[in-house]
Structure 1
Amino acid sequence: MLRIHFTDADLARTRVAAVPDPLWEICASLHRFQSRQGRWAYADWFRTARTRLNAAGFAPTLRTLLLPLVPRAAYFPDFLTPPEATEGLDAGLEAILATPKRRILDEVGILARTSGAPAWAPSLAESDMRKELVQAMRAYHDTVIAPHSDHIQARIEAERSARARAMLNGGIDGVLQSLGPDLRWQRPILHTVYPEDRDLHLNGRGLLLVPSYFCWGNPVTFGDTTLDPILIYSLSHEPHHSALPGDLGSGASLKALLGRTRAAVLRAAATGATTGELARATGVSASSASQHATALRDAGLITSHRHAASVLHTLTPLGAALLRANTPGSP
């Protein structure tokens, strides 16, 4: 069990990340190769990822370099997920290259004692080996994560919309109470199942909540409690079927392209809306709004996820681009 202790100052400084952390997504996706838990939620990704990795001749590097360093266990080295990665993949990889040798050896030692480290792991303290690791992480990201970036970002935006609604309805308590079944909020402590028994005292530093597409099951945080606190937590995954459309074009008006009501539904989803809110915004019945939302979701223009008793609809990057292209005065 992990217990995260909040003060009033911590509650005021708690926030939700705007974008997925690319290095945490790399590590969490590596865990997906090491477990069948939740495989159904990533079935399409897993199939295409294996195909792309084999086609690129990357499978041996995956087996011998990346997977041994990021075991699906109680611990993997913190230097692989530096906070600089919130500024993007390049910044995160540069931070790995700049990690002090002493810290790398310390964390590799922890890995050896807790999960077992590969024999070559101490050589990561040398810059040449670290450059090889960073090159492998970049190639892995480009091969199996970047092709899905639009879909992943759409899920993150939907999650942020759901947390924003929780904030409006219940303040920060509402946010912490709504993070899913794996997290339980009993003020002033957030409880979650964890591979080890730990207490994390925020001590006024606040907490960055980072929704992760590839995280499955219990949330993850740094092993080093002196680092700025973050909590990587899983999105809720539901069975769904969606297909990306062909080129919709940017010159046609939305009404001509989608129809008046469906175009209105798309606009209403721009700030996140439940099915009932779509119905009220467009003047149709709830069942009709649901049908229009289904059509837009099947076209890859919106994404829909259950939030408490409601279904929340938000735009995908494709849907947002279509709206922007058909806004008067847009470039």
Structure 2
Amino acid sequence: MHFTVGDLSRTRVADGPDPLWEIVLSMHQLREGRRKSRIGTAERTCPDRRQMMRVLTPLMPTRGYFPDFLTPAAASGGLESGIDAVLSTPKRRLRDELSLLAQHNPLPSWTRRLADGDVDTLRWLGRALHRYHKYVLGPRWPGIAARVEADRRHRTGVQCRAGTEAMLHSFGPMLSWQSSVLCADYPVDRDVHLGGRGLLLVPSYFCRRTPVALLNEQLLPVLVYPACPPVPEQACTPHSRLAPLLGHTRAAVLQTLQEPRTTSELAHHAGVSLSSASEHAAVLRNAGLVASVRERQRVRHILTQLGADLLNAGMPPAWP
């Protein structure tokens, strides 16, 4: 993803979980047979399960393209707003995106009516989305929201204290920020030029392995990424499980970087000398746990995604 200066000023993190992205991405996991005890059990006990899955399954293949109209920007305002936007998709867009889906996935005959914008078929899709969210995701939504909110607080905290570029550095090694270009290990080789529109970063509970983007580059640029679990305060103290691996001082330095800090701030909060703080930060940076951004005469250190994951290692997931 190629940024301009204007794109940096318009890049932000979504205010909360996007219900339609979570539906699509949890469907991917469900069909891959993952998280059976959590998603699969609820799905099997859902009323009218077969009809619901008959609608959703063909539209959400586990690999490759799925229609962009299933994840409209309006879903940031909640499930109802998102489904209303899905049902209001123009006929031409329905036809184009379903035709693209059909190139690599055999579609049932009823999708022809959907491509024609048939009102009853669109309502059928809307009911299936409602039912899936209510019975499969609804009971677990507090835990989903908690993980997304923890990630959002971390990213926006970095952005407020150190700027958007520092926030983009915090995604390493999942995402790499260098010279106005954000790179991801994506299944398809793509170049997206934001062109001054900015980027909406959407943390997701069910996103796994790699981030996901919309195919249609005329739409608002969106990048959905795996939300990192909340890091408990006690996850990395000098007596934690990380201390034997990193050493007591380095484990404490890593924990201190749950908030972006300059080298002098890091030394103060970790209780070490300035030279020692710089040395520990360099070791953690070389290990991919920390990113460092120069700000004039200062260097600010930021916890990366890998560093956050390490702090959270062995902790229970954020489910109720």
Q: What TM-score does the superposition give when structure 2 sets the normalisation length?
A: 0.70
Corresponding residue of 2:148: 156
**Structure 1 residues 106-156: Cα deviation after superposition (integer angstroms, max 9, x where no partner):** 110000113443332221121110100110110000001121121111111
Amino acid at match of 1:150: P
Identity of aligned residues (%): 40
- 1:171 corresponds, among 153, 163, 175, to 163
- 2:78 corresponds, among 81, 84, 88, to 88
- In structure 1, the residue corresponding to 2:201 is in which secondary structure? strand
Q: Give 1:277 deviation, angstroms.
A: 9.7
Q: 1:132 to 1:94 in 2, by over 3 A?
A: same
Structure 1 segments of 4 or more deviating over 4 A?
Answer: 237-240, 274-278, 308-311
Q: What TM-score does the superposition give when structure 1 sets the normalisation length?
A: 0.68
Corresponding residue of 2:220: 228
- 1:13 corresponds, among 5, 10, 13, to 10
Q: Give 1:308 deviation, angstroms.
A: 7.4
Corresponding residue of 1:76: 66
Corresponding residue of 2:25: 28
Question: Does the aligned pair in 2 maintain the 1:206–1:229 contact within 8 Å?
Answer: yes
Structure 1: state its 5+ residue gaps: 241-273, 279-284, 287-304, 319-331
- In structure 2, the residue corresponding to 1:57 is in which secondary structure? coil
- In structure 2, the residue corresponding to 1:200 is in which secondary structure? coil
Amino acid at match of 1:100: P
Q: Give 1:239 deviation, angstroms.
A: 12
Amino acid at match of 1:152: I
- In structure 2, the residue corresponding to 1:307 is in which secondary structure? helix
1:65 aligns with 2:55: yes
Corresponding residue of 1:307: 308
Structure 2: state its 5+ residue gaps: 233-253, 259-269, 272-305
- 1:136 corresponds, among 106, 109, 128, to 128
Q: What is the alpha-carbon root mean square deviation over aligned residues? A: 3.2
Q: Give 1:306 deviation, angstroms.
A: 5.8
- 2:93 corresponds, among 96, 99, 103, to 103
Number of paired residues? 249
Corresponding residue of 2:285: none
Query: Which runs of structure 2 are paired with 1:225-264 in the superposition (5 Å)?
Result: 225-236=217-228
Q: 1:35 to 1:131 in 2, by over 3 A?
A: same
CA distance in 2, matches of 1:179, 1:53: 32
CA distance in 2, matches of 1:85, 1:158: 20
